[in-house]
Amino acid sequence: MLQELGILTTLGVFDPVIAGTIPLGIDLPTSDIDIICELSPATGPAFEHLLCSHYGHLPAFRIGTSSSSKIPAMISSFRYLETEIEVFGQALPTGQQYAFRHLVVEHAVLHAGGPAWHTAVRRLKAQGLKTEPAFAGLLQLPGDPYEALLTLENLSATELAARLAQITLPSSQH
């Protein structure tokens, strides 16, 4: 679908990266596609123009700015083939953005934890939890789940596996 839309090529100069649940294999039928991009104050207007000119005709198209994090962001969302797509641009290299850093930590947890962790996270997401709160809850991390997950990003694979071994996942309820 993204190839058909051509969005990664269109946004190529902004170093687009697909983040969120889909690359992790924990997406649900209702999951959106998250694409993060690197902007600068100088490239913000071009980014906005590109999104408006290429995708502004699509259903539910919106674009605006957010200052909810320390670094302001431009966010656009729209629907394509019944899937919501969100494009997030920030004046920070994509590899340093929270969405990418969360993706790396969550991938490491799923890799170390195996299928049981995939199942547990998907179950919580199906109950309505967002991805980061689901992971933080299962990992028994206190505080803000978005910040708490980042406390694990410097653990080695061995350290992470040892931590996961101490956690009992909730049993499935039928």
The answer, yes or no, to whether residue 174 has pLDDT greater than 60, is no
The number of folded domains in the chain is 2
Among the candidates 91, 116, 136, a domain finishes at 91
Residues 18 and 41 in one domain: yes
Q: pTM of the predicted model, to two decimals? A: 0.90
Residues 12 and 87 in one domain: yes
Q: Look at residue 59 and tell me if it is in a domain.
A: yes
Separation CA 131–CA 69 (nearest Å):
18
Separation CA 13–CA 27 (nearest Å):
27
- Residues 162-171 have a mean pLDDT of 91
Containing domain of residue 65, as a range? 2-91
Q: Look at residue 170 and tell me if it is in a domain.
A: no
- Give the pLDDT confidence of 63-103 residue by residue, as tens digits: 998 877 778 899 999 999 989 999 999 999 999 999 999 99
Q: Residue 161: its pLDDT value, please?
A: 94
Residues 69 and 130 in one domain: no
